[in-house]
Amino acid sequence: MAVRASRFVTIKGIKDGLTFQFDDKCDFEELVNDLRFKLEHTHQNILTGPLVHVDIRTGEREMTEEQKDTLLDILSQKGNLLVRSFEEPPPPEPEVPDRNAVKILTGMIRSGQVLHHEGPLLFLGDVNAGGTVISTDDIYILGALRGMAHAGVDGNEDAVIAASFFSPTQLRIADRISRPPDEGENRESHMEFAYLQDGIMKIDKMANMARLGRDFNVFKGV
């Protein structure tokens, strides 16, 4: 007595042939067993007569070459079935980096070293004199900024530069350049940030950043 067929393989007639729709959730062995059963017990009528073109649909199932060959071999054993197409899921699209996702890095940037990043950057460490940090977006440094920082390098004038200890040798936002005040290291040690207002670079206390009314990407996801 034949075992009852499952619904893992659905065979449908179309204008110029047949489609074999394979379930994409069941185990592969269950799929194979159901295909064999239907070809041998429930759909014998399609195995006689003229040549029949077959289109295979695998849904979202990703198959190895060995699994694919197994299915094709089963179908090829039936003389009048000719596989015309084997539709598999398209390869996954490459992941596109989110330029608005904050990147957190740690370490120390020494003299002569350059850190270049696309998107907002949160750097945990010091940037020594002679070191450089460059980003297409905001730059936040939880440490001392004694070197050069260039935010919005691609022309983003809304970018900001902030540091726990703010004593840069040079600041750049978009195409604007500013040198630090003369007092340098003698400035009060609190967190400050630089920003552009009407094309002029200004420096203010970090607590006043909210007054700018901007959406600072560096805080997203932190």
pLDDT in tens, the chain (222 residues): 445 556 899 988 888 888 999 999 999 999 999 999 988 887 767 666 788 899 999 988 888 999 999 999 998 887 788 888 988 777 777 666 566 677 889 999 999 999 999 889 999 999 999 999 999 999 999 999 999 999 999 999 999 999 999 889 999 999 999 865 554 445 555 689 999 988 899 999 888 887 776 655 555 444
For the record, the structure tokens of 207 come out as 């607590």
Per-residue pLDDT, 91: 73
Sign of CA dihedral 206, 208, 214, 215: positive
Fold of domain 103-219: Pectate Lyase C-like (2.160.20)
Beta-carbon contacts of residue 88 (< 8 Å; ≥ 6 apart): 58, 62, 63, 68
H or E stretch including 153?
none
Per-residue pLDDT, 174: 94
What CATH number is given for 9-87 in this structure? 3.30.160
H or E stretch including 31?
helix 28-37
Per-residue pLDDT, 222: 44
Q: Where are the domains of the chain?
A: 9-87, 103-219
CA neighbor of 20 nearest in space, from 89, 90, 91, 83: 83
- Tell me how far CA of residue 190 lies from CA of 2, 179, 198, in angstroms: 82, 19, 25
Q: How far apart are the first and last CA of the chain?
A: 64
Per-residue pLDDT, 155: 92
CA neighbor of 174 nearest in space, from 143, 136, 144: 136
Q: How far apart are CA 213 and CA 222, in angstroms?
A: 19
Q: Say if strands 17-22 and 9-14 run parallel, antiparallel, or are unpaired.
A: antiparallel
Q: How far apart are CA 124 and CA 138, in angstroms?
A: 14
Specify the pTM: 0.54
